[in-house]
């Protein structure tokens, strides 16, 4: 799966400079500690591939012509104290920084701007009992902040318990992987599968049962599950689309295609799509960022 892309220059010196920038990027993000370090082994190998057009791709899978990139073998966790739990996947630190838990999404809680969703209050209460006023360790991935300037992190208790993972295990959160932040993705997918099979928490609620894509309406707000059979693939400048009908499709950012198998392998097969629906005119679309949200049935 591709986790970072860059473009090399036309000249050798430019290419070498770009290569060093990429390596420094990975090294800095994975190794710089801003607080009390709590080290864990991070054994993922990263490989660099350059195609005939000069495009440089970084991946955690060794393909033909791939060269290994040397990265630090340890990452750091940073000690903080939680001041407030905002909702099931967001908290506020004593220093005022807001933290969005990586790899998970919990149902929304009621606010002035939106109605609450089934399971939202339960997830918030669960998180409050475990984190409010407590010390935690934050572990970052490749992106440290989102566009809202929230820290993006995995949260660990001092005893090593992984809070993001525990939310999934207990059926309180859905997996929501956003490349390039892929750390712990395999663990999350397995935990979700087990919680779903056991019908824990949100997985037994009517709101989150899969519906046919033909049932999509403008009232289907929030995180949803749909099933359908894709009929064709259409590639455009930014996105590649799996077309289900004249009114429904899913779109995948072309930069994320490397995480997925050949999209034509989905054609004619029933799949489940997980995520949020957007509408333009009379057409409905869902943006899918990771294969965990596009499941063959």
pLDDT per residue as tens, the chain (297 positions):
444 444 444 444 444 444 444 444 444 444 433 333 333 334 456 667 787 777 777 666 677 788 876 654 456 899 999 999 999 999 999 999 999 999 999 999 998 888 899 999 999 999 999 999 999 999 999 999 999 999 999 999 999 999 999 999 999 999 999 999 999 999 999 999 999 999 999 999 999 999 999 888 877 789 999 999 999 999 999 999 999 999 999 999 999 999 999 999 999 999 999 999 999 888 999 999 999 999 999
Q: What angle do CA 96, 99, 101 make, to 5 degrees?
A: 165
Cis preceding linkage at 180, omega within 30:
yes
Q: What angle do CA 277, 222, 271 make, to 5 degrees?
A: 50
Is-catalytic flag, 150? yes
Write down the pLDDT at residue 5.
45
> Rg of the Cα trace of the chain?
20
What contacts 159, CB < 8 A, 6 or more positions away?
none
Q: How many CB atoms lie within 10 A of CB 136?
A: 22
Write down the pLDDT at residue 67.
82
If DSSP codes are grouped into helix, strand and coil, which group holds residue 208? helix
Of the candidates 48, 77, 100, 289, the residue annotated as catalytic is 100
Closest to 230 in 3D by CA, of 154, 170, 155, 288: 288
Domains of the chain by start residue, with CATH: 2-75 (no CATH), 77-204 (2.40.50.90), 210-296 (2.40.50.140)
Q: How many CB atoms lie within 10 A of CB 79?
A: 13
Q: How many CB atoms lie within 10 A of CB 68?
A: 10
Q: What angle do CA 254, 255, 260 make, to 5 degrees?
A: 75
State if pTM tops 0.85: no
Of the candidates 150, 183, 274, 289, the residue annotated as catalytic is 150
Write down the pLDDT at residue 46.
66
Write down the pLDDT at residue 153.
98
Write down the pLDDT at residue 27.
45
Q: Round to whole Å and give the CA distance between 1 and 23.
A: 18
Is-catalytic flag, 100? yes
Contact criterion met (CB below 8 Å) for 88 and 125: no
Of the candidates 48, 77, 108, 183, the residue annotated as catalytic is 108
Is-catalytic flag, 272? no
């Amino acid at each position: 799966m591709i986790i970072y892309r860059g473009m090399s220059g036309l000249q050798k010196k430019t290419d070498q400079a770009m290569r060093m920038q990429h390596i420094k990027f990975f090294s800095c993000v994975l190794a710089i500690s801003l607080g009390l370090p709590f080290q864990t082994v991070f054994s993922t190998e990263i490989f660099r591939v350059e195609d005939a057009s000069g495009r440089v791709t970084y991946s955690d899978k060794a393909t033909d012509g791939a060269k290994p990139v040397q990265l630090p073998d340890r990452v750091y966790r940073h000690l903080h104290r939680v001041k407030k739990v905002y909702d099931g996947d967001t908290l506020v630190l004593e220093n005022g920084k807001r933290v969005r838990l990586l790899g998970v999404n919990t149902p929304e809680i009621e606010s002035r701007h939106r109605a609450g969703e089934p399971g939202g209050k339960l997830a918030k209460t669960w998180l409050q009992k475990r984190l409010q006023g407590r010390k935690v360790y934050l572990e970052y991935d490749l992106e440290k902040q989102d566009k809202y300037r929230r820290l993006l992190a995995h949260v660990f208790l001092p005893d090593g318990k992984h809070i993001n993972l525990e939310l999934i295990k207990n059926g309180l959160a859905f997996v929501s992987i956003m490349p390039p932040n892929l750390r712990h993705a395999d663990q999350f997918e397995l935990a979700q599968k087990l919680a779903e099979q056991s019908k824990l928490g949100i997985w037994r609620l009517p709101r989150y049962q899969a519906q046919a894509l033909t049932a999509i309406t403008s009232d289907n707000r929030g995180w949803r599950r749909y099933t359908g059979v894709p009929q064709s693939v259409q590639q455009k400048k930014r996105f590649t689309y799996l077309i289900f009908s004249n009114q429904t499709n899913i779109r995948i950012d072309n930069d994320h295609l490397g995480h997925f198998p050949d999209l034509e392998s989905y054609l004619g097969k029933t799949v489940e799509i997980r995520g949020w629906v957007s509408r333009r005119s009379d057409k409905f679309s869902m943006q899918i960022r990771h294969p965990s949200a596009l499941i063959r049935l």
